[in-house]
Amino acid sequence: MTDAIERLVNLALFFADARGTVTAEQARAQVAGYSVGQDESAFIRMFERDKDDLRKAGLTILADDEGNYRLDRAATFSTPIELDAGETAAIRTVAAALADDASFPYATDLRLALAKVTAQIDAPGVHATSRLADESPERQGADVATLSAAAATGKRVSFGYTNTAGVSAPHEIEPYGLFLHDGRWYLVGRDTGKDQVRTYTVSRMRSVSTNSAAPKTPDFARPDDFDVARFVRLPFQFGASARSFEAVVRFDPPAMWRAHILCAGQGVLTPDGQGALWTVEAHSDAALLRFVLENGPGLSVVSPPELAQALRTGLGAVEVLHG
């Protein structure tokens, strides 16, 4: 008796070997694993599931209205990718690290992707590890996998959520996107109860579930102009937007090489002699000053002037405290 894995590979080979179009009946007759005596509706269900599985494997199987199928060879096969040693090493290192990271939600697909793009599939293992999320990594990884699938298919999700004030409440969200920041995953989506787009910390969620009704029909459409990057913040950009202000931070020449790393795409960096001025939105005085000092030397506050003064006053206080 042919087992399911053989049937799937047989069907893939059958489609790939066919010169023209084929029918479900031909597959039933020629592919080991299907039975001619099988109940018609059971066969059709099995055949549909098998085609879905092969599409997940990367095969592009086209169908016409008459029930004829063919493998689109150009869409199914790629030319081998030429990678140099550094590129190959980078991909293998990243994949080795993340494939075993419980908080990375795409581990299985990552391994399969690596197997397809690397030339030497039996190369020795790479010493690399990862812990993208440090708080409950398994739970965050599993929840992000659920949320990511729901976002991709446009399905609503529900979960219990405990906010920073310790208040728990159920939420129903239309998930738009996900981002990782400082060891935590975050979800951005529209809260249907509040009719607002908000950011939620995944580690604060409980019992994440996807709307199971009409699984192949989206519940919502993500706004065309949505970009999750707009929700990724630096540490001093969290908090009430009502307290938002514009700050200017100077990078001295020796610190310039790190400027684009530290700015992380936020604000505007303008050349200023050998250094640069960084104009950026901030929501917290204390967090901005902490950022400037922790990433120094070579960073200083230019404006607002009262913040520059607060920095000098605070540094004076440290000197007195430790004097």
User: Smaller CB distance to another protein: residue 49 or 206?
Assistant: 49
For residue 263, the number of C-alpha atoms closer than 13 Å in the C-beta half-sphere is 23
Among 1, 214, 240, 320, binds another protein (CB under 8 A): 320
Question: In whole angstroms, what is the distance from residue 91 CA to residue 85 CA?
Answer: 10
d(CA 262, CA 133): 20
Within positions 125 to 164, which residues make up the interface with another protein, using CB under 8 A? 125-134, 148, 151-152
Residue 86 touches another protein, criterion: CB under 8 A: yes
Residue 186 and residue 144: Cα distance in Å, rounded? 9
Query: Does 24 engage in binding with another protein (CB under 8 A)?
Result: no
Is the Cα torsion angle 163, 168, 169, 171 positive or negative in sign? positive
301 touches another protein (CB under 8 A)? yes
- Which of 181, 194, 183, 191 is closest to 232 using CA atoms? 181
The span from the CA of 76 to the CA of 95, in Å, is 23
The contact pattern for another protein, residues 234-253, with x = CB under 8 A and - = no contact, is ----------------x---
Q: Which of these ranges, 194-202, 207-215, 228-236, 237-245, lies near another protein under the rule CB under 8 A? A: 228-236
Among 196, 261, 273, 305, binds another protein (CB under 8 A): 261
Per CB under 8 A, contacts with another protein among 94-123 are 94-95, 97-99, 101, 104, 106-119, 121-123
- When asked if residue 17 is in the footprint of another protein (CB under 8 A), the reply is yes
To another protein, the closest distance from the beta carbon of 239 in angstroms equals 15
Distance CA 282, CA 243 (A): 8
Q: How far is CA 269 from the centre of its chain?
A: 27
Q: Give the binding-site size for another protein (rule: CB under 8 A).
A: 126
How far is C-alpha 84 from the chain's CA centre?
A: 26
CB of 17 to another protein, least distance (A): 4
Q: Of 164-223, which residues contact another protein (CB under 8 A)?
A: 176-183, 222
* Cis, peptide link before residue 304, omega less than 30° from 0: yes
For residue 200, what are the CA distances in angstroms to 86, 109, 175, 185, 229? 37, 25, 10, 9, 15
Q: Does 87 contact another protein by CB under 8 A?
A: yes
137 Cβ neighbours under 8 A, 6+ residues apart: 101, 102, 103, 131
Listed ranges 161-169, 190-198, 204-212, 304-312: which one lies at the site for another protein (CB under 8 A): 304-312
**Closer residue to another protein (CB): 32 or 44:** 32
Please state the three-class secondary structure of 158-175 as a single string.
Answer: EEEEECCCCCEEEEEEEE
According to the binding rule CB under 8 A, does residue 53 interact with another protein?
A: yes
| 124 lines the binding site for another protein (CB under 8 A) | yes
Min dist CB 66 to another protein, Å, is 23
Q: Does 66 bind another protein (CB under 8 A)?
A: no
Interaction of residue 273 with another protein, rule CB under 8 A: no
